[in-house]
Chains A and B, each alone.
Chain A
Amino acid sequence: AQRVTQPEKLLSVFKGAPVELKCNYSYSGSPELFWYVQYSRQRLQLLLRHISRESIKGFTADLNKGETSFHLKKPFAQEEDSAMYYCALSGRGGGSNYKLTFGKGTLLTVNP
């Protein structure tokens, strides 16, 4: 079974401070990991995926297979980063590599 855990429901930081949103996963095969973001009154959208190793809007995430983690980090948070962040997993190859399993989300608030 695949599972995604985001231990923090809420995270509040001040503008300019570093931010880390935690994500741990459980999956028996080789996973693909994603971060999705939902800004207020907007639809859910892909922020980044581990396979592309990109930095989007200053955010990065590294897949740590030993710790089964995919934490999202940004060195200097901005007010416009305030949103709900979801970590998600899918399998690579095999029969269920299409559906995403989401964590329950972390609401990030960046205070001025």
Chain B
Amino acid sequence: AQTVTQSQPEMSVQEAETVTLSCTYDTSENNYYLFWYKQPPSRQMILVIRQEAYKQQNATENRFSVNFQKAAKSFSLKISDSQLGDTAMYFCAFMKPNNNDMRFGAGTRLTVKP
């Protein structure tokens, strides 16, 4: 079974600063997908970024980027130029390509302070 671990229950960052959220996972699969989802107070799940395990290049989406270390099974999220609207729960998730059920970490509550 796949497990996803987020070891930081809460984090805070000053507006305009950079913050990194950690995620590790455990799997025996060689090919899979990794995700970061944002859940604001509305509780709508919003996809932040996606990484395919067979791609060595780290995914980037505007202010969001990942540091994917496949051998270490690590998938951290870096948020640059943090904005107040980034305040939310962030979930790291793992998905195998053939069955699509997604497994989530426990989440990290990020607060961006003005």
Do the two shown chains form a genuine complex with each other? no
Interface of B toward A, CB cutoff 8 Å: none
Interface of A toward B, CB cutoff 8 Å: none
